[in-house]
Amino acid sequence: MKTRLAVASALLVALLPVPAAQAAAPRRDACAADAARALDAQLRRHPGGRRVDGNTVAYDGGALSVHVFPETCARFDGLGDCDSGVACFWQRAGYLGTQWVLSAADRWTDLRVGSFGSAHNNHAGQLLLRRERTGATVKIFPSDTGSRDTRPPGEAAPVGRAGWACLRTSSRGCA
C-alpha cells in the first residue's frame, strides 16, 4: 500500500504544471535582452537620449520619450498607455510596436521618427506635424483628446510621415 501511495504521489507531482513564475522567467529574460538591444539601436540611430528604465529613452529633458515594446515582451494596451496631456505615436498600425510620447507644449520637437503607423492626440490642444522644423505643417490633429488615426493591422503604409511635432495650447502657436 505504501509503495502504491508513493508511486501515485510521484506521478501526481510529475503531472503538475510548472509554476507560472518559473515558466515566465525565460520570457522575462528574453524581453529584457530584446528591450536592451532595441534601446541600443534607438540610441545609435538618434544619439543624445538618456535611458530612463529598461524600455525607455528620454530626449530633450523628457520632452520626448521613446518606449520600446519587443515582440518577446508581454502585450501592452497601446491606447491605454497614452496618458492624458500628451501625444503618442506608434511604429505600427493598431497602436503596436515602439511608442513615441510627446509631452512638450508650444514648441517644435524633433520626433526622431520618419513615419508611424498610429497616432493619438490625447492633449487638449492641437497636434501639428511637419517633415522639417521650418517647413509647412503636413497634418493637424484637432484639439480634442480623442483625435487619433491608425491603419488596419498588417497594413504597411504609414498614417503619417513627420520629423517634427508641436502640441499647440495657445493661440500664439509653436516656437
Burial class (CB within 10 angstroms; exposed 0-12, middle 13-18, buried 19+) of 66: buried
State pLDDT tens for residues 84-143. 888 888 888 888 888 889 998 899 988 877 678 888 888 888 888 888 888 888 788 887
Percentage of the residues of the chain whose pLDDT score is greater than 90: 13
- Predicted model pTM: 0.72
Q: Return the DSSP state at 105.
A: B
pLDDT of res. 145: 58
Residue 39: how many other CB atoms lie within 10 Å: 21
What residues does each domain of the chain span?
18-168
Burial class (CB within 10 angstroms; exposed 0-12, middle 13-18, buried 19+) of 67: buried
Q: In the chain, which ranges are continuous DSSP H helix?
A: 2-15, 20-45
Give the Cα separation of 123 and 139 in Å (integer): 16
User: Biggest alpha carbon distance in the chain?
Assistant: 88
Pick 5 or 72 by higher pLDDT: 72
